[in-house]
Amino acid sequence: MRTTIFLSLLLLAAVPGTALPALPVSVDGQPLPSLAPVLREVTPSVVNIYTQTRVRVRSPLLDDPIFRRFFNVPDVPRERVSQSLGSGVIVDAKNGYVLTNNHVIARADEIAVGLKDGRSLEATLIGTDPDTDLAVIRIPPEDLKALPLADSDELQVGDFVIAVGNPFGLGQTVTSGIVSALGRTGLRGLEYQNFIQTDASINPGNSGGALINLRGELVGINSAIFTPSGGNVGIGFAIPSSMARYVMDQLTQFGEVRRGTLGIFVQDLTSELAGAFGVELGHGALVAEVAEDSAADEAGLQPGDVIVEMANRPVSNAQDFHYAEGGLALGESLKLKYLRNGKNRTVVLAVRSVPVLDGEDLDWRLAGARFTGLSAKYKQQNLGGVLLESLEPRSRLAREGLTAGDIITGVNRQRVNNLAEFQAVIESRRSSLLLQIRRGGRAYIARID
């Protein structure tokens, strides 16, 4: 049947003087629905992002001094330039702030932004947050139009949404769909996850682009797709605008995200645990550990308590709690509701800064390094130790091959589970430091003299 219709259309088009009927501009006096009016307002705020990264590369032969001397090859490393592309959203026209994904601009040496009107502007990096895969860059604030942010907490499954971005470098492209699901988690490498799932087509290059509602408001930053083949299969993920707004405010104010903590590590309730604690499955997060001297410790929370509400929002599982904690500002007070022995309790906690140790304060050989405790992501993997949060490139640890993100699990053959144990072992050292390191599922040992 479809073939017959197709052939009929071809024959009709081949008959001289015959015209195909055009779609009406209106039906019963009412114009046909179109997204064009909304997109005319939105598309000037969505930009294309192009980056260049210079990577030094060396041939193994060039590392041999005899080879270099014999062939008179200068000891100059070569460079390889890698390019990438993505999308971004102008969120502050007055200051020229553009919101995008961290993975779009990570390690970039040059960032260029292409606007819909044809302009190409050089961008500077304001700050990044790898834990949410968000970043803010800045372009000259000249004749820009910002996209207003909606409250993504009001989204519902079934709401219509539109994705705008730069897939495959083709240029600005618009696709549409619905909100397929909310609160999606499980993507690797990200600390805080609460994704909007949509069937609006999202492809490579769409990263950092806008997911908008039919009012032309930003509800999410397109970030990732689920695909077995590399192309779109109708499962895309966007970071909610509520989280994007919080991260953006932190990055533009401090250049980094300064998160706080309550000092609680939680886990999901299994059916057995839910029965043991007398709560319904999917209605709470079980407190597995309370950090010593934390806000939660001073408020009297204990392992075995079940958190059911945080900051007036229900907590269904560990991810709910972790995501909510990731959006808390330092010094903020919030109400926490929990169950103990089947009885409801309420406490007010103040968010405190995450404890950090400066390496230089511990040992001169650790200068340039900052250490912090492991977050819930690592606790869920049953890992103990301390996190190498940041590291200066020319520091002694960097020369020994350590990188930010490494986990120190032991020192001088003594296991360390937290910052206090790490500090105690370092301060009692006698000579060399033997650091046991875990990176990407593999273990290493580094000797620091």
User: Is there a contact between 318 and 376 (Cβ–Cβ < 8 Å)?
Assistant: yes
For 71, the token pair is 């062939």
The CA distance from 115 to 184, in Å, is 31
Identify the burial level of 178 via C-beta atoms within 10 angstroms of its C-beta, where 0-12 means exposed, 13-18 middle and 19 or more buried.
Answer: middle
271 has catalytic annotation: no
The CA distance from 148 to 41, in Å, is 11
The CA distance from 57 to 63, in Å, is 11
What are the residues facing 307 on neighbouring strands?
A: 285, 338
133 has catalytic annotation: yes
C-alpha neighbours within 13 Å on the C-beta side of residue 179: 24
Residue in the structure block whose two tokens are 């953006």:
248
Q: How many residues does the chain have?
A: 449
> Which residues neighbour 25 within 8 Å (Cβ) at sequence distance 6 or greater?
31, 32
For 43, the token pair is 């598309």
What values do phi and psi take at 262, rounded to 5? -100, -10
Question: Which is catalytic among the residues 87, 152, 207, 242?
Answer: 207
User: Is there a contact between 166 and 48 (Cβ–Cβ < 8 Å)?
Assistant: yes
DSSP 344-379: EEEEEEE-EEPPEEEHHHH-GGGTTEEEEE--HHHH
Q: Is 127 helix (H, G, I), strand (E, B) or coil?
A: strand
207 has catalytic annotation: yes
Question: Which is catalytic among the residues 45, 84, 87, 103?
Answer: 103
Identify the burial level of 72 via C-beta atoms within 10 angstroms of its C-beta, where 0-12 means exposed, 13-18 middle and 19 or more buried.
Answer: exposed
Which candidate, 23, 210, 203, places its Cα nearest to that of 98?
210
What are the residues facing 333 on neighbouring strands?
A: 350
DSSP 28-51: TTEEPP-SHHHHHHHGGGEEEEEE
Question: Which is catalytic among the residues 131, 133, 305, 406?
Answer: 133
The CA distance from 158 to 146, in Å, is 26
Calculate the alpha carbon distances from 142 to 90, 126, 139, 148, 346 in Å. Answer: 12, 18, 9, 18, 50
The CA distance from 340 to 347, in Å, is 12
Amino acid at 65: P
Active-site positions read: 103, 133, 207
